[in-house]
Amino acid sequence: MRIGVIGTGRIGTIHANTLSRHREVGSLILTDTDPGRAAELALRLGETAAPGVDEIFKWGVDAVVITTNTSAHAELIGRAARSGLPVFCEKPIALDLPGTLHAIGEVETAGTVLQMGFQRRFDTGYVGAREAVRAGRLGRLHTVRALTCDQAPPPAEYLPVSGGLYRDTLIHDFDAVRWVTGREVVEVYAAGTDAGGAMFRAVGDVDTAAVVLTLDDGTLATATATRLNGAGYDVRMELAGERDTIVVGLDDRTPIASTEPTGPPAADKPWPGFLERFGPAYEAELAAFVEVIHGERANPCDGREALQALRIAEACELSRAEHRPVRLAEIAGGREAVGV
Ligand SMILES: NC(=O)c1ccc[n+]([C@@H]2O[C@H](COP(=O)([O-])OP(=O)(O)OC[C@H]3O[C@@H](n4cnc5c(N)ncnc54)[C@H](O)[C@@H]3O)[C@@H](O)[C@H]2O)c1
């Protein structure tokens, strides 16, 4: 099987590495708007670089992996769908709802596959949490606390094309809350601060955010994120029910220090970033994509799933801007959306 990888930046490099080692993937064609970047990676992996996206489609591939900046995803998804190709695409589909709905429409009209890169669905901890909730081990779930803390901010040039902290980062927590609990979010109240680095203020983004989410069964969830967490990369989810409490992401690399004399020791080697923390999950989601291409398993995260996570992020932006709780029903693209 030959796969085209479009975008060879941070996440494209790790996905190309994984695919290049996969025994069912014969070869890769890599491309990037920075041709030197694609050529250097192709040389390192023993794969082929193409001068542009056109060549990916002209030379012929069996599937496409899209790891460009988010602003290019929707158009590339549409192009691959019209060529009848299965697509794996990094989150989110687009920076706005119309672009997201259009891309999903293209995929559904073409009858092709779009698998979205919400890798937490393949992380051992999140999988265990979902199983615990489904099995009723916690009793009635009443509280979920989700958090994503980057150790260091992304490059300044990434910020204006990222879509902001809710669409770029917290979207993972929104997807995880839905996926782990099996419930829908019906209302959000979001706050954010840009009191940190000037580069966030310059693009109207926030560097830290907190959200209260109400789920359709009355469960309350909080989700917080920050771009600058000196202790390390910290991604956790705590779920508390009437019978038990569990936590995802608490291990000997979690970057937190207890102030209790009998507490656990601080991590020797705290997680530095997403590439390390989620390495096995990134591999597992692409292994799943190969199985999806072969028709051996159902799509684990399609465009409609990604749409719901984006709607929550959109509701957060509105909530922060207007300082009020926002019902998800106010945001377009719900289950009733026509043409999707
Ligand atoms: N799942 C995750 O944990 C995770 C983590 C990081 C990033 N992401 C997502 O992955 C995507 C890329 O993020 P990144 O951190 O790798 O960014 P990046 O800036 O490091 O890399 C993006 C690359 O895409 C290239 N590019 C942009 N437009 C292109 C186009 N039209 N055609 C070809 N190449 C193009 C850029 O030149 C760059 O090399 C984003 O959508 C982001 O949301 C997901």
The per-residue pLDDT for range 194-216, each reduced to its tens digit, is: 998 899 999 999 999 999 999 99
Secondary structure class of 252 (helix, strand, coil): coil
Ligand 1 center–CA 240 separation, angstroms: 35
Helix (H, G, I), strand (E, B) or coil at 7: coil
Whole-model pTM: value is 0.96
Which residue owns the Cα nearest ligand 1 atom 38? Answer: 9
Torsion sign (Cα): 130, 213, 204, 100: positive
d(CA 98, CA 340): 11
Check residue 340 and give its pLDDT. Answer: 41
Residue 111 is given by DSSP the state T
Query: What is the reported pLDDT for 262?
Result: 96
Q: Cα(139) to centroid of ligand 1, in Å?
A: 40
Phi then psi for residue 93, to 5 deg, are -65, -40
Q: Is 147 helix (H, G, I), strand (E, B) or coil?
A: strand
* Residue ranges covered by each domain of the chain: 2-117+284-301, 121-277+306-330
Nearest to 122 by CA among 238, 268, 287: 287
**Domain 2-117+284-301 identical in fold to domain 121-277+306-330:** no
Query: Is the preceding omega at residue 280 within 30 degrees of 0, hence cis?
Result: no
- pLDDT for 334 equals 77
Compute, in angstroms, the gap from residue 138 CA to the centroid of ligand 1.
Answer: 38
**Residues of the chain under the 70 pLDDT cut:** 335-340
- The alpha carbon of 61 and the centre of ligand 1 are apart by a number of angstroms equal to 20
Q: Which residues line ligand 1 (CB under 6 A)?
A: 6-12, 31-34, 37, 53, 67-70, 72, 90-91, 117, 119, 158, 168, 274, 278
Residue nearest to atom 15 of ligand 1 (CA): 10
CATH number for 2-117+284-301: choose from 3.40.50.720, 3.40.50.300, 3.40.640.10, 3.40.50.620. 3.40.50.720
Assigned CATH class of 121-277+306-330? alpha beta
156: CA distance to ligand 1 center in Å? 14
Q: How far is CA 217 from CA 196, 220, 260, in A?
A: 36, 9, 36
Encoded amino acid at 67, one letter: T
